[in-house]
Amino acid sequence: MIVLVDMVRVRGEGWFDRTRGRVIAASAVAAAGLLVFHRAVPDSGVGAGSLLESFLPWLGAVVVVLLVLALLRRSAVALVALLLPGAAWTYLFGGLLLPGSGAGPRDLVVVQHNVSDENTDPEGTARVLADAGPDLIALQELVPGALPAYRRALAADYPHHAVRGTVGLWSRYPLADARHVDIKPREVTESWSRGLRAVVRTPHGDIAAYVAHLPSVRLRAGGFASARRDESARLLGRAVAAEELDTVVLLGDLNGTVDDRGLAPLTRRMNVAERGFALSFPAAFPVARIDQVMARSATVERIGTLPATGSDHLPVVARITLG
């Protein structure tokens, strides 16, 4: 700041003006309000609040743009106002940028990936996932034609697996009591199986692993359509709440970010990643993480992405500390 002021004085253009940039300052205050009070933004039948929360971290980019404009305008009031959204963004998301702690003996490494029903290279996709060395691999959009390829490619390192409908779980450790979890919205009348629950017998005790694929959301002329996703999230939240095992791990394409109020039935019951953004969709230019890893009675220490596969999603890998 001192250097910038000195540069301005040398050029003979005066100090930063305290009367300029009021529109920029007002925009900064508005950005801070949206960050802090995003839950107060109503959906109003068009999903406005949920849409805002889907892209909430990107308000940081707005703050950067406003900062550049404030410097160009040499506006002191705007620079001071920008402290508000800067502090709010740092409080909400700054921790995700911090380095994670080292791996511990009670850690479980998991991979979550929507492999896409249009993926033409299931074997290559499976290799990318296995190369990360996880203990568990959860997959969605498993179509019958590709399923044998995943089974063959993962069999050596992941001899235990369970598939229900279009979701599956591969594990280094034995699986037990694998069963379908009904998360189908009422409006869906066709065959639809996107939920799985299995007990993973890890060296540190049994955990309940849930794999899920919630319905897609759509941005339409009438607003942000998420009713089916929200209903499915409520059903999944009830299943997790009724789970008798203490430790639960949820892996899935939830078609929502952890800030999205539509996933509140899950996020209020489970821990989310403490480190890492891991933007996973779309793979070509990721703007949001809709592939999630959550845990109960365990901590999701860090989440990141793996190299692109033949899917329109990027795989995510997370380290979970049990106990």
State which amino acid sits at residue 209. Answer: A
Distance CA 202, CA 182 (A): 25
Q: Is residue 253 part of a domain?
A: yes
Q: Is residue 257 part of a domain?
A: yes
Q: Look at residue 323 in the predicted model and tell me its pLDDT.
A: 80
- The pairs formed by 124-130 with CB atoms below 8 angstroms and a separation of 24 or more are 124/309, 124/310, 125/150, 125/309, 125/310, 125/311, 126/150, 126/153, 126/154, 127/153, 128/306, 128/307, 128/309, 128/315, 129/154, 129/306, 129/309, 129/315, 130/154, 130/157, 130/158
Report the CATH number at residue 195: 3.60.10.10
92 plus 144 within the same structural domain: no
> In degrees, to the nearest 5, what angle opens at C-alpha 295 toward C-alphas 294 and 299?
105
> Tokens standing for 204?
């540190």
Domain end, chosen from 79, 97, 115, is at 97
Distance CA 120, CA 148 (A): 13
Q: Look at residue 3 in the predicted model and tell me its pLDDT.
A: 44
Q: Look at residue 19 in the predicted model and tell me its pLDDT.
A: 67
Domain end, chosen from 69, 97, 125, is at 97
88 plus 120 within the same structural domain: no
DSSP reduced 3-state for 168:
strand
9 plus 153 within the same structural domain: no
DSSP reduced 3-state for 36:
helix
Number of domains in the chain: 2
136 plus 265 within the same structural domain: yes
Q: Give Cβ neighbours of residue 105 (< 8 Å, ≥ 6 apart).
A: none
Rounded to 10 deg, the angle between the 22-36 and 83-93 helix axes is 20
Q: Look at residue 10 in the predicted model and tell me its pLDDT.
A: 41
**Which of 291, 310, 247, 16 has its CA nearest to residue 137?**
291
Give the count of beta carbons closer than 10 Å to the beta carbon of residue 320.
26
Q: Is residue 102 part of a domain?
A: no
134 plus 210 within the same structural domain: yes
Domain end, chosen from 52, 78, 97, is at 97
Give the containing element (helix H, strand E) for 29.
helix 22-36
234 plus 309 within the same structural domain: yes
Q: How far is CA 280 from CA 284, 292, 316, in A?
A: 9, 9, 7
Q: Is residue 220 part of a domain?
A: yes
79 plus 150 within the same structural domain: no
Task: Say if CB 51 and CB 59 are below 8 A apart.
Answer: no
Distance CA 55, CA 50 (A): 9
125 plus 157 within the same structural domain: yes
Range of the domain at 33: 2-97
Q: Is residue 76 part of a domain?
A: yes
184 plus 259 within the same structural domain: yes
**Which of 59, 64, 66 has its CA nearest to residue 91?**
59
Which of 223-240 are b and which e, b meaning 16 or more Cβ less than 10 Å from the residue's Cβ?
bbbbebbbbbbbbbbebb
Backbone angles phi, psi at 239, to 5 degrees: -65, -45
Q: Is residue 262 part of a domain?
A: yes
116 plus 139 within the same structural domain: yes
123 plus 229 within the same structural domain: yes
Q: Look at residue 14 in the predicted model and tell me its pLDDT.
A: 55
Write out the chain's pLDDT in tens, 323 residues: 444 444 444 444 555 666 689 999 999 999 999 999 999 999 887 899 999 999 999 999 999 999 999 999 999 999 999 999 999 999 999 999 998 776 677 799 999 999 999 999 999 999 999 999 999 999 999 999 999 999 999 999 999 999 999 999 999 999 999 999 999 999 999 999 999 999 999 999 999 999 999 999 988 877 899 999 999 999 999 999 999 999 999 999 999 999 999 999 999 999 999 999 999 999 999 999 999 999 999 999 999 999 999 999 999 999 999 98
Backbone angles phi, psi at 318, to 5 degrees: -135, 150
Please state whether beta strands 107-114 and 136-140 pair in parallel, antiparallel, or not at all (unpaired). Answer: parallel
69 plus 206 within the same structural domain: no
